[in-house]
A and B are shown apart, each in its own frame.
Chain A
């Protein structure tokens, strides 16, 4: 596992022209890994018919509303594959 729970990460600010599971609202944002979920095929590859797709760790990453929107006191947790993330 590359990122244990508690690791501060930042979502890569990329904008691919293919399918991806990175919601636009978290791109470029800092967050914290709260759980490693498992190792699964990367949807970006599967959706393009790349065989075999890369298999990567997927993490539940928590973001604060203040970081995402500039206001709000809630958190949003998003499941993100390893190649979407950099260590912050």
Chain B
């Protein structure tokens, strides 16, 4: 028998779906409908808009860091709370002293609506196990080399609480408008594996 760890993720997922369908718990149609709804508007541009607004609007930045569900809702990206099949969204801000990076060691939790579908490496055993153990080395492999004076803060997500990094606004961007600032922010920047 093949161990499930030996199978590619898609094959493992399909095997699980087949078991759930065989048990009468769901159907292919229901899964397709759910995924269509989930991904219809999911994009890292949503998270980038929140970040760019936080860079230019101090009151919004304060709300985003204190109650990200409310800040997202105010920006048109509704994230329901955990008791409504959503999650508690927390945004953690990079500063001169702290660089944040998110991971989910237990599975691959992540705010899909704001960051878009998660990259394959985010779900890999290597990223999940090494980020909590040696984040500085992992970040260096992404091309992010931080001075020793910058503390690295790793956030290990659960399904109920999910994280987004607010990158620091790059120097020399004072003249850019909201759209141009939004375009600077990458998905990796919102995960913490890029500076912006």
**A and B physically associate:** yes
Q: Are B160 and A40 closer than 8 Å at their CB atoms?
A: yes
Q: Closest CB of chain A to B91's CB: distance in Å?
A: 12
**In the complex the two chains form, what is the Cα distance from A36 to B44 in whole Å?**
27
User: Interface size of A by Cβ–Cβ distance < 8 Å?
Assistant: 21
- The 8 Å CB contact of B81, one of A38, A43, A73, is A38
User: Which single residue of chain A is at the shortest CB-CB distance from B156?
Assistant: A78
Q: Are A21 and B106 closer than 8 Å at their CB atoms?
A: yes
Bits for B134-161, please: 1 = Cβ < 8 Å to A, else 0: 1110000000000010011111111111
Given A25-B132, A38-B81, answer yes or no on A76-B161 (Cβ-Cβ < 8 Å): no
User: Which single residue of chain A is at the shortest CB-CB distance from B132?
Assistant: A76
Q: Are A77 and B153 closer than 8 Å at their CB atoms?
A: yes
Given A38-B82, A40-B82, A74-B136, answer yes or no on A58-B151 (Cβ-Cβ < 8 Å): no
Interface of B is mostly: mixed
* Those of B78-135 within 8 Å (CB) of chain A: 81-83, 88, 90, 105-106, 132-135
Hey, which chain B residues are within 8 Å of A14, CB to CB?
Answer: none
Hey, which chain A residues are within 8 Å of B135, CB to CB?
Answer: 74
Hey, which chain B residues are within 8 Å of A73, CB to CB?
Answer: 148, 151-152
Hey, which chain B residues are within 8 Å of A76, CB to CB?
Answer: 132, 154-156
Q: Closest CB of chain A to B131's CB: distance in Å?
A: 9
Name B residues whose Cβ lies closer than 8 Å to a Cβ of A: 81-83, 88, 90, 105-106, 132-136, 148, 151-161
Name A residues whose Cβ lies closer than 8 Å to a Cβ of B: 21, 23, 25, 35, 37-38, 40-41, 43, 58, 60, 68-69, 72-79
